[in-house]
């Protein structure tokens, strides 16, 4: 048995999310269908680094699967891409050790969130960037984002639906990349809670628009209270950018 590690990119616009569900088109289902066909009908199950929600994109999602096939990794990649729909592409494939796990071997993840700051909407970017039609105080945002770096309890910045009890995470890097009207929020951490990046971005956008909160970012973190933070930014601006491993 061989273990294959794949990096995949997908446009989340027409997906109900990554994980298979009873109703709705999903990334996992499309990949498993393609790999099963490639294996002559023998069912293939994949394991990913994590889930993404409806409309969320990925540039560097990682999954692994086990196979008895002797086909080369290059042939596996070409064959999978020939069978996958146009909004999913495998960008890297390699054989890995049997103790590698796409989820449990993760060291860091990088997420990016893209915002278009312009008076008018861009119809060609509407599925890939969150549009903000008003001026933002970028200095305020740049200063506030520094507050999330470090190890904190992120209860205030995760969905109330989160079932995970341990909400302590470490953010190694947090910054804003400016490219004209486009702002990219970049976060690198050892893990992220459900809706964490989208709530962080929503809060930072609220701060940049002049909305006042009873606490600053540090105070919000200490309070461990979701009601004290901003709205959840929409999913279509979010990208799972890269997953980091030792291998």
pLDDT score recorded for residue 6: 98
DSSP letter assigned to residue 227: G
Q: What amino acid positions are annotated as catalytic residues? A: 53
Strand partners, 116: 131, 182
Count CB neighbours of 232 within 10 A: 18
Residue that the structure tokens 């600053």 belong to? 216
Contact between residue 93 and residue 183 where contact means Cβ atoms under 8 Å apart: no
Pick from 204, 207, 210: nearest CA to 237 = 204
CA 188, CA 203: separation in Å to the nearest integer?
18
Q: What is the mean pLDDT of residues 191-195?
A: 96
pLDDT score recorded for residue 108: 98
Residue that the structure tokens 């891409």 belong to? 81
Contact between residue 215 and residue 223 where contact means Cβ atoms under 8 Å apart: yes
Contact between residue 172 and residue 150 where contact means Cβ atoms under 8 Å apart: no
pLDDT score recorded for residue 216: 94
Reported as a pLDDT band with limits 50, 70 and 90, residue 161 is confident
Cα–Cα separations (whole angstroms), residue 24 to 29, 44, 141: 10, 20, 36
pLDDT score recorded for residue 160: 84
> pLDDT tens, 72-108?
999 999 999 999 999 999 999 999 999 999 999 999 9
Reading the block at residue 46, the tokens are 């994949």
Contact between residue 81 and residue 90 where contact means Cβ atoms under 8 Å apart: yes
Record the pTM: 0.96
Strand partners, 160: none
**What stretch of H or E contains 70?**
none
Residue 17 has φ and ψ, to the nearest 5°, of 130, 180
**Does residue 245 sit in helix, strand or coil?**
coil
């Amino acid at each position: 048995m061989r273990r294959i590690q794949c990096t995949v990119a997908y446009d989340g616009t027409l997906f109900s999310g990554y994980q298979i569900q009873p109703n709705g088109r999903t990334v996992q289902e499309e990949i498993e269908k393609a790999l099963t066909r490639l294996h002559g009908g023998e069912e293939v199950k994949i394991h990913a680094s994590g889930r993404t929600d409806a409309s969320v994109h990925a540039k560097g999602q990682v999954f692994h699967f086990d196979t008895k096939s002797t086909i080369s990794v290059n042939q596996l990649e070409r064959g999978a891409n020939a069978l996958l729909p146009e909004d999913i592409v495998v960008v890297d494939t390699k054989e890995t050790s049997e103790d590698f796990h796409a989820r449990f071997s993760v060291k860091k993840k990088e997420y990016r969130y893209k915002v278009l700051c312009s008076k008018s909407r861009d119809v060609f970017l509407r599925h890939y960037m969150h549009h903000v039609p008003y001026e933002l105080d970028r200095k305020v945002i740049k200063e506030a984002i520094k507050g999330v770096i470090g190890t904190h309890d992120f209860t205030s910045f995760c969905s109330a639906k989160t079932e995970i009890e341990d909400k302590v995470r470490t953010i190694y890097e947090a910054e804003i990349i400016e490219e004209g009207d486009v702002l990219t929020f970049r976060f690198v951490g050892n893990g992220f809670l459900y809706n964490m990046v989208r709530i962080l971005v929503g809060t930072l956008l609220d701060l940049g628009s002049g909305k006042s909160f009873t606490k600053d970012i540090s105070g919000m973190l200490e309070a461990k209270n979701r009601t004290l933070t901003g709205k959840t930014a929409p999913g279509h601006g979010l990208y799972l950018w890269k997953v980091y491993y030792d291998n």
